[in-house]
């Protein structure tokens, strides 16, 4: 295997796919004295591979905030030859890592990364789903941990009408926590709303990348539209003003799940990674 882009010689990159229930985590990113997904994963990997002062050079495709779930998250690690030897005869399989993880994290797949693959910089898109139980829908205890309960009725039709105004390459400053020097321009590829058979409303969101709290602000805006408090035209104007507003709320994390990180074909992985590094520090902020 040729050395992966962005990794110094002698390191071998592995791609790790995983899912987690974010309820009891203070988000993805490792933090001292807090229970985080990355912290738990690093602890399990350290048990197999020994201590790594550089955290195995782990990078993640979609960093998630406290309480946000992931049906499908992707990260990578870079291992030295000495660490590779410690894997021993048993492969670095999902079941081996899962046996060392709590039940609210599950590794789905571990594989040698393709040349040029970078979990964060090779990604070309992220998709999220947000689940809401409005007054039409009796809350089900089996999914209530993954769903926002809303005490009033929401019109899916009105939510979809509003959503159409936001699709495209736009400045999402009205939906982002401002960060100095960072662009708030993103390409929103998908924003659709559907009522499931079980009564829940699901909001599907895809973009090249998201700025901090953007998905939860978009959902808050659609909910205001769904209650008739905000017309599609008013929402379009707020987007164009590109300034934070009190016309809608940033909704809670419990309804939000990362559902997919998209990567290009193998031949484009390195090229995409280089492009993303140069354009902006893609998805370095929590969603």
Show which residues are catalytic: 65
Rounded to the nearest whole angstrom, what is the least distance from the CB of residue 202 to a second copy in the complex? 14
Cβ proximity to a second copy: between 32 and 151 the closer is: 151
How far does Cα 56 stand from its chain's mean position?
Answer: 21
**Cα–Cα dist 39/273, whole Å:** 25
Q: Which is nearer to a second copy, 17 or 208 (CB)?
A: 17
Which residue's CB is nearer to a second copy, number 94 or number 232? 94
Which residues form the interface with a second copy (CB under 8 A)? 19-21, 69, 71, 94-95, 98, 103-109, 135, 138-142, 144-146, 149, 151
- The CA distance from 94 to 15, in Å, is 12
**Beta bridge partners of residue 130, listed in sequence order:** 203, 256
Find all residues with CB under 8 Å of 193, minimum gap 6, and list them. Answer: 156, 159, 160, 163, 201, 202, 203, 204, 222, 226
Question: What are the residues whose beta carbons fall under 8 Å from the beta carbon of 77, sequence distance 6 or more?
Answer: 13, 14, 16, 45, 56, 57, 58
Residue reference for tokens 């693959």 = 117
Q: Token pair for residue 232?
A: 């599609």
Strand, coil or helix: 33: coil
Q: How far is the CB of 279 from a second copy (least distance, A)?
A: 33
- Calculate ∠ Cα 15-129-227, nearest 5°: 165
Write down the least CB distance from residue 229 to a second copy, Å.
21
For a second copy, give the closer residue by CB, 20 or 130: 20
DSSP 252: -
* Least Cβ distance, residue 172 to a second copy (angstroms): 28
Beta bridge partners of 205: 128, 191
In the complex, the smallest distance separating the C-beta of residue 129 from a second copy, rounded to whole angstroms, is 12
Nearer to a second copy, 133 or 235 (CB): 133
Structure tokens at 31: 């933090």
């Amino acid at each position: 295997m040729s050395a992966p882009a962005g990794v110094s010689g002698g390191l071998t990159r592995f791609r790790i796919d995983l899912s987690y229930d974010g309820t009891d985590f203070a988000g993805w990113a490792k933090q001292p004295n807090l229970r985080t997904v990355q912290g738990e994963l690093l602890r399990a990997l350290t048990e197999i591979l020994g201590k790594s002062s550089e955290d195995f050079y782990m990078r993640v495709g979609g960093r998630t905030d406290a309480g946000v779930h992931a049906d499908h998250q992707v990260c990578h690690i870079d291992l030295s030859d000495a660490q590779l030897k410690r894997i021993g005869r048993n492969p670095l399989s999902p079941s081996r890592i899962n046996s060392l993880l709590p039940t609210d994290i599950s590794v789905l797949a571990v594989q040698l990364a393709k040349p040029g693959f970078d979990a964060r910089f090779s990604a070309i898109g992220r998709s999220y789903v947000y689940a809401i139980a409005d007054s039409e829908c009796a809350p089900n205890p089996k999914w209530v941990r993954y769903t926002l309960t809303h005490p009033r009725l929401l019109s899916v039709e009105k939510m979809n009408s509003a959503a159409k105004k936001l699709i495209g390459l736009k400045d999402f400053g009205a939906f982002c926590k401002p960060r100095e020097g960072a662009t708030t321009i993103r390409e929103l590829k998908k924003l659709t709303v559907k009522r499931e058979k079980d009564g829940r409303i699901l909001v599907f969101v895809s973009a090249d990348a998201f700025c901090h709290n953007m998905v939860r602000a978009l959902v808050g805006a659609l909910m205001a539209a769904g209650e008739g408090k905000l017309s599609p035209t008013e929402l379009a104007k707020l987007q164009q003003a590109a300034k934070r507003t009190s016309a809608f709320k940033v909704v809670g994390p419990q309804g939000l799940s990362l559902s997919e990180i998209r990567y290009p074909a193998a031949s484009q992985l390195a090229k995409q990674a280089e492009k993303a590094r140069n354009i902006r520090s893609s998805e370095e902020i929590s969603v």
